[in-house]
Structure 1
Amino acid sequence: MSRDSTASLPAGLGRRDFLAAASVGLSGGLAGCTGVFAAEGNNVNIAGSSTVFPVTEAIASSFSEQNPTVNLSLSKTGTGGGFGNFFCAGRTDINNASRSIADAEIEQCGNNDITPIELQVATDALTVVVNPDADWIDCLTVEQLREIWRAGGATHWSDINEEWPDEPFELYGAATTSGTFDYFNEAIIGEEENHRSDYHATERDRTIVQGVQGSEYAMGYFGFSYYSENPDSIKAISVDDGDGCVEPSIQTAMNGEYTPLSRPLFIYVAKESLEKAAVRDFARFYMKRAATDLVSEVGYVPITEDKRDENIEKLKAAIEEVTA
C-alpha cells in the first residue's frame, strides 16, 4: 500500500491526530500477499500484535514521510495470528509481538526457512480498566484479578467484596491469538488455572474500550496506549502485587514498580527479508526511533540507548550475512 510523502503536519493537526488519519493509508489487508520473498523490493509487509501496532504505526508514518516510494502494509492480526498465519508462513517481513516467540512458532518458521530476529522496541504497562461510574473500585490485588479472570472464578462484583454491587461482571479482553492474552494469562492466572472463556474476546482493542465505556459493571484489559487515548472515558485500575497499589503509567513501568503487568514489546524481522533494501532501511530506522519520545507519545516506554545500539548491532550482523 503506497503512502504519500508528508513534509510537515497540517496546521492545527497534532501528531496523534495525524497518525489516526495516516493509519488508513498504512493499514492494509494481507490477503493478497503471495509470498514476501517474491514481492517487489520496495514492499515492507507487517502484521501481528495490536498492542505493538501504535508504535509501529507511528514509526512507519515517520518513515513514509522520508521514504514515499516504499510501500508499507500494516495489519493487526494478534501476535500468535501474525506468527502462525503470516510471518512464519513467509508472507510478511516483520511481526509485531507483545510476547516472545514460542518454541512451536520457531519450529514453524524453521520449517519454512524463516529466521526470526528478535528486537525489543518498547515497554508496556498492561492496563486493567473499568467504567468511570464504577466508583467502588480503584485498586485490585493480583489475587482478586485472578479470581475475576480465572475459569470457574467469581461471577459478580460482590463475590470479590461483599460491599460491592451484586451485579455480574461484563468482561472484555484479548483473544486467545493475542500476545496480550498470553502475557495476562501467565502473569495473573498462572499455570494452575485457566483463563475464563465466558468473556468478550477480541483483537480490536478499541472494541474493548467501547465495551467498558458502555457498562458500569464492565472490566477489560489491554496495552497502556489504548488507555492513554481514553483517560476521561475509562478508568485505569491500580494493581497491588504485595507492596501496595501501583497505578499503570509510563513512569511506573519504566522504574519497575508496576508489577506483574509491565512487559517488553518486540518486533521480529525475518532475516531473509533483509535482502530487500526497503526492509533493511525500515528496520534500522525503527531501531533509532524506538529510543525516542515518539514511543512515549503513543503511550509506551522507549528502549534505552544501550538496547537501541544492541539492536542495531544485531541487525548489522544479520544484514552482513544475507548481503555478503
Structure 2
Amino acid sequence: MILAFSLSACFKKYDGKINIDGSSSVYPLTEAVAEEFRKVEPNVRVTVGISGTGGGFKKFLRGETDISDASRPISKSELEISRKNGIQFIEIPVSYDGMAIVVSPKNDFVDYITVEELRTMWAPESQGKVTTWKQVRDSWPNVPLNLYGAGTSSGTYDYFTEAINGKAKSSRGDYTASEDDNVLVQGVSSDRNGVGYFGLAYYSENKNKLKLIPVKVTAEAKAIYPTEETVQNGTYQPLSRPEFIYVNAKAATKPFVKKFIKFYMENAAVLAKEVGYIPLPTSVYDLSYKRFENLKSGSVFENKSIVGVDLFQLLSEK
C-alpha cells in the first residue's frame, strides 16, 4: 500500500506546470508566492529555481521557462536575443529591494560607508591595488580588504556596478563571487575583514550573523540604512532598486498562468514584507496587472537607466 501511494505521488497528473528560474534576490518572494499558491491550486505544479538573473534569462529566451525572476531589467543584448528567437514577454515589477552593505559582527571599526568609498573598493582600476581597509579610509586599520559580491550572471552585480561605478558590469574581478547570496552570507559572516553586498532579504534572514552598514551619498550627508521607508521614498540611494518577473507571452494566455500572476499581484505586497523586501505602491501593482491582462509585451526600461527610476511614472507613460 505504501509503495502504491508513493508511486501515485511521484506520477501525479497536474492540470498545469509553471517553470520559473532566475534571480537569487527575487527567489525568496517568488518561492513564497508559489508556496501559498500551491495551497489554493494544488493541481498546478510550480517550480522555482536559482540560476541568477543572467542565467535565468538564458533559459527564458530559449523558451525553457515560463517565468524569469530578475533583479534588473532585461538588457539590450537579451532584448536582441528575444527578438531573434521570437520570444515575447510581459515585464512585471514585483517589489523594491534595498541593496545591503554588510560586514561581520566582529568588525568593530566600520560605522558607515560613503558611495565614493564603495567606488574605491570596487572600481576596476582598484584591482590588485586597493587591498587594505586603510587604503579606503585612513582611519581604518591596515588589515586585508576581503570583498564578497554577486557573480557576473547576477542582476545584483549589474545594478551595483552601474549604481556605484557608473557602468553595468564595470568592476574589479579579484573578489569572492557567487550568484547564490547564501554563499556570500556565509563568507562575510565568518570573515572579520570581509565586506559584501546583496539583497536586503538575505540580510533580514541572517541578522544574527551580519552587521548592516548605512550608506552616505557624500561624506557630509546623513548615513542611511535600507528600510521600507527609505527605499520607498528614495532616500536610500543609489542602492534602491525594483525587482521583476518576466512572463513568456504565450504562457501568459494559459488559464493556470493567469491565475498564478493574479495571485502574485494580489499577495506580493504582504509576502514581500514577510521575506524582507519592500512592497511597491498599490498603484504600481494595479498598473502592472493591467499590462499583463492586456498582454502588453516589451520592456519599459529599453534604453533607460534603472537607477533612481519612478516606476509609476514610467508605467503610466507606456
TM-score, normalised on structure 1? 0.83
Q: Is 1:282 equivalent to 2:260 in the alignment?
A: yes
Contact 1:152 / 1:196 at 8 angstroms: preserved in 2? Answer: yes
State the match for 1:210 in structure 2: 186
Residue 184 of structure 1: how far off its partner (Å): 0.3
State the match for 2:214 in structure 1: 238
State the match for 1:140 in structure 2: 113
State the match for 1:106 in structure 2: 79
Deviation track 1:34-53 (CA, whole Å, cap 9, x = no partner) reads xxxxxx86010001110010
Contact 2:23 / 2:52 at 8 angstroms: preserved in 1? Answer: yes
Q: Is 1:298 equivalent to 2:275 in the alignment?
A: yes
Q: What is the percentage of aligned positions where both structures have the same residue?
A: 42
* CA distance in 2 between partners of 1:284 and 1:88 (Å): 23
State the match for 1:122 in structure 2: 95
Residue 293 of structure 1: how far off its partner (Å): 2.0
* CA distance in 2 between partners of 1:306 and 1:152 (Å): 42
State the match for 1:96 in structure 2: 69
Gaps of 5+ in 1: 1-39, 320-324
Matches within 5 A, 1:46-65: 46-65=20-39
Question: Letter of the aligned partner of 2:60 in structure 1?
Answer: F
Aligned CA distance change for structure 1 residues 42 and 94 (closer, same or farther; 3 Å): same
Gaps of 5+ in 2: 1-13, 297-318
State the match for 2:307 in structure 1: none
Contact 1:173 / 1:181 at 8 angstroms: preserved in 2? Answer: yes
Q: Which of 286, 297, 316 does residue 309 from structure 1 map onto?
A: 286
Contact 2:99 / 2:198 at 8 angstroms: preserved in 1? Answer: yes
Deviation track 1:123-169 (CA, whole Å, cap 9, x = no partner) reads 00001100111111021110000001112322100111223221111
Question: Letter of the aligned partner of 1:66 in structure 2?
Answer: V
Deviation track 1:252-311 (CA, whole Å, cap 9, x = no partner) reads 111211000000011010111123222111111111112x32211111111221111111
Q: Is 1:165 equivalent to 2:138 in the alignment?
A: no
* CA distance in 2 between partners of 1:138 and 1:176 (Å): 28
Deviation track 1:213-241 (CA, whole Å, cap 9, x = no partner) reads 11100111100000011112101111101
Contact 1:41 / 1:276 at 8 angstroms: preserved in 2? Answer: no
* CA distance in 1 between partners of 2:49 and 2:169 (Å): 32
Question: Letter of the aligned partner of 1:54 in structure 2?
Answer: P
State the match for 1:272 in structure 2: 250
Q: State the SS of the aligned residue for 1:269.
A: strand
* CA distance in 1 between partners of 2:169 and 2:186 (Å): 28
Q: State the SS of the aligned residue for 1:216.
A: coil
Larger displacement relative to structure 2 (137-146 or 160-169): 160-169
Residue 192 of structure 1: how far off its partner (Å): 10
TM-score, normalised on structure 2? 0.84
* CA distance in 2 between partners of 1:191 and 1:303 (Å): 26
Question: Letter of the aligned partner of 2:87 in structure 1?
Answer: I
Residue 95 of structure 1: how far off its partner (Å): 0.5
Question: Letter of the aligned partner of 1:267 in structure 2?
Answer: I
Deviation track 1:68-101 (CA, whole Å, cap 9, x = no partner) reads 11111110111111112x1010000001011111
Q: Is 1:183 equivalent to 2:159 in the alignment?
A: yes
Q: State the SS of the aligned residue for 1:260.
A: coil
* CA distance in 2 between partners of 1:103 and 1:149 (Å): 24
Residue 193 of structure 1: how far off its partner (Å): 9.3
* CA distance in 2 between partners of 1:233 and 1:204 (Å): 17
Contact 2:19 / 2:65 at 8 angstroms: preserved in 1? Answer: yes
* CA distance in 1 between partners of 2:67 and 2:169 (Å): 33
Moved over 6 A (4+): none
Aligned CA distance change for structure 1 residues 317 and 194 (closer, same or farther; 3 Å): closer
* CA distance in 1 between partners of 2:248 and 2:213 (Å): 37
* CA distance in 2 between partners of 1:188 and 1:83 (Å): 24
CA-based RMSD of the aligned residues comes to 1.6
Q: Is 1:250 equivalent to 2:228 in the alignment?
A: yes
Q: Which of 110, 120, 132 does residue 156 from structure 1 map onto?
A: 132
